[in-house]
A and B are shown apart, each in its own frame.
Chain A
């Protein structure tokens, strides 16, 4: 099966190479295909070496196909094949739920990123389209809809060296911390009490269920009216959007605390306060951290939604002004920055989880 795929790949590569030479000329093609090869080499190293190195025949076939491909692979096609080939050839090695080394894990993740990047390069730099009458531009898609990687890169260079951008970023992060912090600080004690004692649940749950079904974004106009300054609108919206959901999640975690643990602590002589602080609280803490990790994504959503409507500051404000002036690449940069912050937040939460709950790791390994 992999052998057939290699043949098909090589065959198609020749056709595509021929088409490319016809369109761009030999010199451009050589430069292009060598840059492609470099990326291919990276992909090859990342995806193949770990999974196929044990299989000598597979390795030889690959190296041969690698050499043949110097005749001119089209990058997108090739990498797609590499990945398909990699997955197909690793099917016998894959096992359900079997863990892989972290190097393999992250290199596969990087591969996906690289693929998207390459696809983006492809639609931006290959072929040409008509912008207006008689005016041609490289790429398959109009730059207004999808800026090229180069454009985004130069925009990023411009934006990321401005103090103002970091000011807006700082304001946004501060708003998240305010709204999210207040939501957590209220939701943890209330959620634990509601999950532990039915009367408390009966007191609040009907009201909160009612509020939960209202979309938080519907509160934007209301919070603009209510808020003392326009600045606090995003924080209020984040609170509304996060608090009620967090409460349900925490209640659920409390309900999942094993009854035996509670009964044991009673028979050890603990009173109600001690059961709450010594058993329920530590038992639900990992779950709460997990829920926070999930909810902080929602917090960003509500932040941007509120800042787009009005706030005068923050990342959402940058996005809305960029959109007003059709600066798509600026929108792109802002969104990517948010994504990077998201990845960092994720890493922080993962670190906290491992640092605070070493016993959870033990449980998994047992």
Chain B
């Protein structure tokens, strides 16, 4: 009888690999504070991973390090096998604060990353008719590219339900709409991984629920990998494939919880017994960390 290999279900390829991440801060009085020590985390391709933890534990710092906006003291981060050292378009980021450029219309905001990919003084082109005409005449393939961008922008705006607001300045939009612009803009860049730093933290409860549904919808459509930070446990369970709970300072990953719900999810799962039990477990786990602080 031939040997039958019992093969474990193969894990999806690792997208983001964080190894032994450390971050020290130096205070004004010259003391070294160890904020993060020995943080290890793996993220798989196409996964929605939510980071939870006591407030002030360094979730945002971790995300900023992954984005390349902050430098670790030691340790390594690899995205698709390549080490990360500085910010790049492969890691799109959505902040808690509204970051749409107020001098550009919603459409121009979303088209900006696409223009940047083209590297043709995008600002001038998107604003100035004369430059636009000149470039169209003298640069082969320019016009096609512009039309492609316009079409892309329309698609992405439609995804977030803002197709009617293409020519409106973000200043006159509500908070939820502004975050939708930010999300559309980030997805337009088709990043390898999406980093979200409490993107719905400043929104009211109703808008937040709407935005969560919207995010899941777009995520399902684009098949991207999302690293999401929040302090809202309910939001975390509703959105996540896996939840990583961070410990108190010095930060490391305390535990990783698999969320057992399938996809697509509806809001109704929030009422189930399983959901509540998970929520209670997570609350306990985070409470323990608060005690250590």
A residues apposed to B, CB below 8 Å: 258, 260-261, 263-264, 266-270, 274, 277-279, 282-283, 285, 357-360, 362-363, 365-366
Which residues of chain B come closer than 8 Å to A283, judged between CB atoms?
A: 101, 103
Q: Interface of chain A, helix or strand or loop or mixed?
A: helix
**Are A263 and B87 neighbours in the complex by a CB distance under 8 Å?**
yes
**Are A267 and B93 neighbours in the complex by a CB distance under 8 Å?**
yes
**Are A263 and B172 neighbours in the complex by a CB distance under 8 Å?**
no
Q: Residue of A at shortest CB range from B69?
A: A263
Which residues of chain B come closer than 8 Å to A269, judged between CB atoms?
A: 88-89, 113, 116-117, 189
Q: B101's contact among A261, A266, A277, A362, by CB below 8 Å, is which?
A: A261
B residues apposed to A, CB below 8 Å: 67-69, 87-89, 91-93, 95, 97, 99, 101-104, 112-113, 116-117, 121-123, 168-169, 171-173, 182, 185-186, 189, 195
Q: Residue of B at shortest CB range from A283?
A: B103
**Are B169 and A358 neighbours in the complex by a CB distance under 8 Å?**
yes
Q: A268's contact among B69, B171, B189, by CB below 8 Å, is which?
A: B189
Which residues of chain B come closer than 8 Å to A266, judged between CB atoms?
A: 68-69, 87
Q: Residue of A at shortest CB range from B126?
A: A278
**Are A278 and B122 neighbours in the complex by a CB distance under 8 Å?**
yes
Using known A-B contacts A263-B69, A274-B122, determine if residue A357 contacts B93 with beta carbons closer than 8 Å.
Answer: no
**Are A362 and B91 neighbours in the complex by a CB distance under 8 Å?**
no
Q: Residue of B at shortest CB range from A267?
A: B93
16 contacts between A and B (CB under 8 A): A258-B99, A266-B87, A268-B92, A268-B112, A268-B189, A274-B123, A277-B121, A278-B122, A279-B101, A285-B103, A360-B171, A362-B102, A362-B171, A363-B102, A363-B172, A366-B173
Which residues of chain B come closer than 8 Å to A358, judged between CB atoms?
A: 169
Cα A270 to Cα B121 in complex, Å, equals 11
Most chain B beta-carbon contacts within 10 A, residue among A269, A285, A362, A365: A269
Which residues of chain A come closer than 8 Å to B68, judged between CB atoms?
A: 266-267
What is the CB-to-nearest-CB distance from A253 to chain B, in angstroms, rounded to a whole number? 14
Cα A264 to Cα B69 in complex, Å, equals 10
Q: Residue of B at shortest CB range from A269?
A: B89
Using known A-B contacts A278-B122, A366-B172, determine if residue A264 contacts B95 with beta carbons closer than 8 Å.
Answer: yes
Given contacts A260-B99, A358-B169, A366-B171, 18 further A-B contacts (CB under 8 A): A261-B99, A261-B101, A263-B99, A264-B93, A264-B95, A264-B182, A267-B93, A268-B113, A269-B89, A274-B122, A277-B121, A279-B101, A282-B103, A283-B101, A283-B103, A359-B171, A360-B102, A360-B171
